[in-house]
Structure 1
Amino acid sequence: MPVTYFVGSRASNLARAQVREYLAPLKERFPDVTFTHRAILEGGDRDRRSPLATVSAVSGGSAFSSEQEAALARGEVDVVIHSLKDLPTATTEGLVLLPPPGRGDVRDALCGSTLAGLRRGARVGTGSPRRRAQLLAVRPDLEIVPIRGNVPPRLKKIETMALDAVVLAVAGLRRLGLDDAISEMLPVDQFPPSPGQGALGVQVREDSEELSRMLATVADARVDAAVRAERALLAELHGGCSVPVGAHARVTEDGTLRILGQVTSLDGRERVQGETTGAMAEPEKVGRALAEDLIDQGAERILSAIRG
């Protein structure tokens, strides 16, 4: 019998592009199934001026996922497609995070100028504490200007706010067809991204067994292992989007899981970094092991100072 599933996401053009990307192979494999999209406005979309930590506190969770999770729990949608980096590491009762499909480019991009091309004292826009910290670690002369909003408006701020450049995720730019805006892709070994960056977070209710089996057909086991390791590292460090933690994991050709992690002070003056390997079948163990190494190097002291 024909069946319809309601798919929730944020209302932005990027969120809609991610839904289309995710559903494309499913529609081919299951032509008798109808997927209907429903846009859900998040606290971070309503309030684009307050710091994200403030918005998250008001929403009682995450600035970019709480409303979608609530709609899923109430049965208003059957599945939610997030940017995985926006989804907290703590699990929500009654909901389950499924293995994601293939991952987009994990790197950050400078738009408006290359790093070497930025004049001394250049104004660079970003609302991310991690990006701020990483930039200041290599260019302490820069003036980091807080900006918020969706991808196209942030690009326009180069002109409207007299910025020399802005930092954005390569995956988001590419999903919106904005590759031409990229001036330089920042190297992962020096600028590791937010845990989960470039990947989709697919959530369903625990009792959605048939839907979960269907969605499993587009899952990527290697991407799943990588992002689970990154999120385990973040959870062990008690971090979130408001702390400067970068991580990048990948599964090598021989099946080894390799993860790089970095913690940087907000002023860029202190930074600890490490890398470890382990079994693809034990991603959380690998992520936690790296977190412990970073803590031994002083990561907890850096993060405690940021948290106040």
Structure 2
Amino acid sequence: MTTYLVGSRASNLAKAQVREYLGSLRERFPGVTFTHRVILESGDKDRKSRLSDVPATNRGSAFSSEQEAALSRGDVDVVVHSLKDLPTASPPGLTLLPPPGREDVRDALCGSTLSGLRNGARVGTGAPRRIAQFLAVRPDLELVPIRGNVPPRLKKIEALGLDAVVLAVAGLRRLGLDDAIGELLPLDLFPPSPGQGALGIQVREDSTELREILSTVGDEAVHAQVRAERALLAELHGGCSVPVGAYAQTEPGGFLSLFAQVTSPDGTRRVSGTLSGPVGAPETLGATLAEELIDRGALSILDGCDRRHTAAGCSRPTRS
């Protein structure tokens, strides 16, 4: 019997994602054993610092570096990520496979509805994108930085005296916490992180047999969507702490529609756009829409990029 080691973060959500992914694989391949292995990330070890202050290694993020390093070393055979946590470029020798479908891409307000928030209400979120988007819609709000896994963030409503917190619908549903949702936030005002709701299935490029097995549960339509979103983020040099939201949808006739928005950190400026293109060329679609956003003024927002990220290798786009 062949055994493969599957790595993930230690959170309950990460474990739920692994169970979701392995469920269909075990049904299809009863002669293959998949064993789960937890890998601690720097972002999980340090839950007090601002995320931008948490160090990451090996070109990855605070929520993917150690897993990618373990995969490269051969300590595990495949890693199941939340795709939105992954940098847009994989380390040499690693590649992403088509995700097995996708959960709801939207963000949710938990504890209240948007219209139900009082003037000056305190809303918890540590994500620059969410902070910027809320300030654009409700500049009266006080955005309180919070970090942690999903259940602890929900508990901070009471613990910190918050009126609400913002969380991804996908994480809430995968943990069976649908009842905590006060409102599903509209995509036109609150576009999600590129890749939100999808799993990032990462393997070594030379794992031929394993890639064949895992490809049987991959969804090519979702793969095209997230490739377009991540291509846009890469073109905008999204490693910078610039709030970028994007989501793609498959359309009839073999087309893909991509919407994206860049919001200034204080919420006073928004640049957005929509573009459609062939489903077979998602990277071209993402890069083209990114260029259009730059033409419409996104470059001046990108100029406000956090210089600590610039020093780490993120440079803003230039125009010829």
TM-score, reference length from structure 2: 0.94
SS in 1 for 2:30: coil
**Structure 1, unaligned runs of 5 or more:** none
Distance 2:206 2:93 in 1: 8
Q: Is the 8 A contact 1:6 1:77 kept in 2?
A: yes
Give the corresponding residue for 1:127.
126
Give the corresponding residue for 2:139.
140
Deviations 1:176-205 (CA, angstroms, capped at 9, x unpaired)? 000000000001111110000000000011
Q: Is the 8 A contact 1:127 1:148 kept in 2?
A: yes
Amino acid at match of 1:236: E
Give the corresponding residue for 2:98.
99
Give the corresponding residue for 1:211.
210
Distance 2:83 2:240 in 1: 11
Name the stretch that deviates more: 246-255 or 200-209. 246-255
User: Which runs of structure 2 are paired with 1:1-308 in the superposition (5 Å)?
Assistant: 2-57=1-56, 61-240=60-239, 242-308=241-307
Give the corresponding residue for 2:314.
none
Amino acid at match of 2:84: K
Q: Is the 8 A contact 1:52 1:242 kept in 2?
A: no
Amino acid at match of 1:246: G
Q: Is the 8 A contact 1:276 1:286 kept in 2?
A: yes
Deviations 1:45-99 (CA, angstroms, capped at 9, x unpaired)? 0011112122145775300000000000111100000000000002211111111
Q: Is the 8 A contact 2:241 2:306 kept in 1?
A: no
What RMSD, in angstroms, separates the aligned Cα atoms of the two structures? 1.1
Deviations 1:130-169 (CA, angstroms, capped at 9, x unpaired)? 0000000000000000000000000000000000000000
Amino acid at match of 1:90: A
Distance 1:127 1:92, change over 3 A: same
The structure 1 segments of at least 4 consecutive aligned residues displaced by more than 4 Å after TM superposition are: 57-60
Q: Is the 8 A contact 1:86 1:241 kept in 2?
A: no
SS in 2 for 1:306: coil
Q: CA deviation at 1:253?
A: 2.7
Distance 2:240 2:106 in 1: 16
**Identity across aligned pairs (percent)?**
72
Count of residues in Structure 1 that have an aligned counterpart in Structure 2: 307
Distance 2:199 2:254 in 1: 22
SS in 1 for 2:206: coil
Amino acid at match of 1:62: S
